[in-house]
């Protein structure tokens, strides 16, 4: 049997001669190659406004666009018709763009007009890449099957034509105003209904803050009186350190800090990061509370804090920013390093650490051992944001303070250091309005011996979040001396 010659005309003749099987086989291989190429390589990075995204194409019969928000679900809108669905996966936000956007009203006005153009540019890029990948895979699949160059080229051209036609239909029917009529799926489907309740909470928030501030004041006053009992007392000359973390812009968290500072006569404050949510200029007024505290404030950067936020904090006369550096305050030596990541809009799994975190921890450990200067540093307290860093820093200080995971814990590490991880002093921030839950606000007061610099005791303070009224203070004595092995 003579082989079928593959060309547009020969395909029709082949069908007429009863050689439909090979023609159908050819079309199927081309289709499989097209779908494989689009699935594997049909994506491209694109900036849409201040967002860093990945745009990809997926076969469908209804068209449309889907914005993937990971575990929160997705937002879909009928942006176009055709055989290709556009999927947008948000990866991160450009810090400089976000800062400009929030800090300028004109930038906000420009965003509405720039997003459609950004989307079109990203779509064209992914359409071209998808078409070329589809044509390449079709060529390779047919070549492996028939071992004939002309047949493979015909398949490649056919695949390219199909991809181009699908992409063109989507591009020509694109309607940017469709984003104004989104469909929510998953957890985000509650977002529209939460707007009303968020407004109600905002209207009553100031009154709630006053009530909780009064409750905290009463409880701490009562507890301070109980501290005079001999078994629970600490020396009057002990150094008291307030450990806070992950304020996330919650003004109620600042209320808690001020009350504890006054009622417990705190010597200094250490903040293990995530004081902000996005590190933008618009959040700067929230940081002014640091200067109002009038006592030393030691800070390390979190993954929600930008370098801009760090510089604003550095400008306050009572603030000390640590980033692979150390300082002596009130007789205690503190060393700290900022988080290497900046993921303000990424809801990462906080229990899984980024490789950059480990690299930064190892570099910081070398700094403490004196690798550069030949003079090792022996800090009384190490400050980091992510507790995962403690693995590299174990044994380099009796005490390591961290935050990040919004869960309080304390343990003795393998080589002797005590790791104390703070919960969220801001109760995970005002994002709780959209999360549908209210996390507790947590902080701790640590007492150090002024001579030995050892941790004598600590108080864990927990205050309920919005909608609840409860304050708990617990005294802890180290069960095991944090002397290093």
Write the pLDDT tens digit of every residue in 64-94: 777 765 545 566 767 777 777 788 776 665 5
Q: Report how far residue 382's alpha carbon sits from residue 400's, in angstroms, rounded to the nearest whole number.
A: 5
Instruction: Tell me which H or E stretch contains 97.
Output: helix 95-103
Instruction: Tell me which H or E stretch contains 463.
Output: strand 455-463
Query: Average model confidence (pLDDT) for the chain?
Result: 78
Mean pLDDT of 55-70: 74
Q: Which pLDDT does position 417 carry in this prediction?
A: 96
pTM over 0.75: no
Q: Which pLDDT does position 193 carry in this prediction?
A: 43
Q: Report how far residue 306's alpha carbon sits from residue 91's, in angstroms, rounded to the nearest whole number.
A: 17
Backbone angles phi, psi at 444, to 5 degrees: -140, 145
How sure is the predictor about 401, in pLDDT bands with cuts at 50, 70 and 90? very high
Direct distance between the N- and C-terminal alpha carbons of the chain, in angstroms, rounded to an integer: 83
Which phi-psi region, left, alpha or beta, contains residue 324 (left: φ > 0; alpha: ψ -120 to 50)? left
Instruction: Report yes or no: 420 and 444 within 8 Å, Cβ to Cβ.
Output: yes
Q: Which pLDDT does position 371 carry in this prediction?
A: 85
Return the sign of the alpha-carbon dihedral for residues 208, 213, 214, 219. positive
- The listed range with the strongest mean pLDDT (39-48, 124-133, 374-383) is 374-383
Chosen CATH of 206-476 out of 3.30.390.30, 1.20.1370.10, 3.90.400.10, 3.60.21.10: 3.60.21.10
Whether 470 has a pLDDT exceeding 60, the answer reads yes
Residues 330-365: tens digit of each pLDDT: 999 999 999 999 887 654 444 445 778 999 999 999
Q: Around Cβ 130, how many Cβ atoms within 10 Å? A: 26
Q: Which pLDDT does position 485 carry in this prediction?
A: 44
Q: Which pLDDT does position 423 carry in this prediction?
A: 94
Q: Which of 31-35, 116-120, 243-247, 270-274 has the least mean pLDDT?
A: 116-120
Percentage of the chain with pLDDT > 70? 70
Residue predicted with more confidence, 10 or 98:
10
How sure is the predictor about 51, in pLDDT bands with cuts at 50, 70 and 90? low
Q: Report how far residue 310's alpha carbon sits from residue 455's, in angstroms, rounded to the nearest whole number.
A: 28
Instruction: Report yes or no: 385 and 272 within 8 Å, Cβ to Cβ.
Output: yes
Mean pLDDT of 122-146: 84
Instruction: Tell me which H or E stretch contains 53.
Output: strand 51-59
Backbone angles phi, psi at 473, to 5 degrees: -125, 125
Q: Which pLDDT does position 188 carry in this prediction?
A: 45
Q: Which pLDDT does position 436 carry in this prediction?
A: 52
Cα Dmax for the chain: 104
Mean pLDDT of 149-166: 84
CA-to-CA separations, 149 to 31, 138, 325, 459, in angstroms, rounded: 18, 12, 64, 77
Q: Around Cβ 146, how many Cβ atoms within 10 Å? A: 19
Mean pLDDT of 238-255: 93
Half-sphere exposure of 17 (CA within 13 A, CB side): 14
The structural domains of the chain, with segments of one domain joined by +, span 8-181, 206-476
């Amino acid at each position: 049997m003579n082989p079928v010659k593959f060309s547009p005309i020969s395909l029709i003749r082949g069908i007429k001669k009863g050689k439909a099987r090979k023609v159908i086989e050819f079309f199927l291989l081309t289709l499989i190659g097209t779908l494989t190429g689009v699935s594997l390589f049909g994506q491209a990075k694109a900036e849409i406004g201040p967002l860093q995204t990945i745009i990809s194409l997926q076969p469908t019969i209804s068209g449309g666009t889907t914005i993937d928000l990971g575990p929160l679900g997705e937002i879909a809108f009928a942006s176009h018709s055709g055989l290709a669905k556009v999927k947008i996966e948000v990866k991160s936000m450009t810090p400089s763009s976000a800062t400009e956007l929030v800090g300028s009203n004109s930038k906000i006005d420009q965003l509405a007009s720039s997003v459609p153009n950004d989307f079109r540019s990203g779509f064209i890029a992914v359409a071209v890449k998808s078409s070329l990948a589809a044509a390449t895979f079709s060529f390779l699949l047919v070549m492996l099957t028939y071992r004939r160059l002309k047949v493979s080229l015909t398949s490649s051209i056919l695949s390219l034509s199909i991809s181009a036609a699908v992409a063109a239909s989507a591009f020509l029917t694109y309607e940017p105003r469709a984003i104004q009529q989104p469909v929510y799926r998953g957890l985000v489907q509650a977002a529209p209904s939460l707007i009303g309740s968020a407004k109600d909470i905002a209207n009553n928030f100031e009154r709630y803050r006053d009530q909780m501030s009064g409750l905290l004041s009463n409880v701490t006053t009562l507890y301070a009186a109980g501290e005079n009992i001999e078994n629970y007392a600490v020396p009057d000359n002990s150094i008291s350190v307030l450990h806070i973390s992950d304020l996330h812009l919650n003004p109620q968290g600042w209320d808690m800090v001020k009350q504890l500072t006054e009622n417990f006569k705190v010597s200094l404050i250490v903040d293990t990061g995530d004081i902000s949510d996005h590190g933008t200029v618009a959040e700067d007024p929230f940081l002014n509370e640091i200067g109002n505290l009038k006592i030393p404030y030691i800070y390390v950067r979190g993954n929600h804090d930008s370098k801009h936020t760090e510089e604003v904090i550095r400008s306050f006369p009572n603030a000390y920013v640590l980033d692979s550096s150390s300082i002596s305050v009130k007789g205690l030596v503190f060393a700290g390093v900022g988080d290497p990541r900046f993921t303000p809009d990424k809801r990462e799994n906080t229990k899984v650490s980024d490789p950059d975190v480990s690299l930064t921890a190892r570099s910081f450990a070398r700094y403490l051992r004196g690798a550069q200067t030949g003079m090792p540093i022996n800090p009384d307290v190490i400050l980091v944001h992510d507790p995962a860093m403690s693995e590299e820093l174990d044994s380099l200080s009796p005490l390591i303070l961290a935050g990040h995971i919004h869960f309080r814990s304390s343990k003795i590490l393998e080589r002797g250091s005590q790791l104390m991880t703070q919960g969220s002093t801001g109760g995970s921030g005002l994002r709780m309005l959209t999360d549908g839950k209210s996390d507790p606000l947590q902080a701790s007061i640590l007492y150090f011996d002024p001579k030995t610099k050892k941790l004598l005791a600590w108080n864990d303070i927990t205050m309920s979040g919005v909608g609840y009224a409860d304050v708990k203070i617990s005294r802890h004595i180290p069960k095991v001396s944090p002397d290093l092995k």
